[in-house]
Amino acid sequence: MSVCRGCYSDVEFSELSTGGYCIKCQQERSHMRRNASSTQSTPSLPSKQSLPDPLRQKRDTKAITLTTETALDIKINARLGLVSAEIIAGMNIVKDMMTGVRDVVGGRSKTTQKAIGDIKEELFEDLQQQAYRKGANMVIGVGLHFSDYGNKGTAILATCIGTAIRTTDGNEEQ
């Protein structure tokens, strides 16, 4: 059994999407993205008190993520250790064919770019959740790496690593 990253319910591994979400959570995420892009505004988030416990934790993880080790206005109270996230995402046959065509004729593959964007978003969410579980309110020194995985690039291995820290200067989300 696997656990959905959105609702934390037990589901069969084959029922999870690329990012580890069950079908219902993946549909909700797609719907939120569509609404956000169609209105060009950020959807308002529900209050932490109105969410069930696992989702309240997810809401709390919207912390600052930096690629640098330091920032002038941030006072680090404690370094809480490394956090990392990994995803191996299989590319379906349609994406593979379109990417192959783009390799021959040139240009950009929007399907592959979208897949990579989705993977990055999920990596950062996972990194922030792990930092939150350690008691951190920020992740610094973040590195993101992609590489081909599998036979002839049929999958993408994406890794993200950073340092979880606790700050004392009010950088916590209220």
Task: Classify domain 59-167 by CATH number.
Answer: 3.30.110.70
Give the residues across from 81 on adjacent strands.
Answer: 164
Of 34-48, 76-90, 110-124, 160-174, the poorest mean pLDDT is in 34-48
Tokens at residue 64, please?
Answer: 């600052």
pLDDT digits (tens, 9 = 90+) for 73-100: 778 888 899 999 999 887 664 455 555 5
Residue with tokens 């370094």: 79
CB neighbours (10 Å) of residue 19? 19
| pLDDT level of residue 103 (50, 70, 90 thresholds) | low
- Compute the radius of gyration of the chain from its Cα atoms: 18
Domain locations in the chain as residue ranges: 1-44, 59-167
Which residues neighbour 147 within 8 Å (Cβ) at sequence distance 6 or greater? 156, 157
- Mean pLDDT, range 23-28, rounded to an integer: 82
Helix (H) or strand (E) holding 124: helix 110-133
Closest to 163 (Cα-Cα) out of 38, 63, 87 = 63
pLDDT digits (tens, 9 = 90+) for 30-88: 777 777 655 544 434 444 455 445 444 444 444 566 666 666 577 888 889 999 999 98
DSSP, collapsed to helix, strand or coil, labels residue 10 as strand
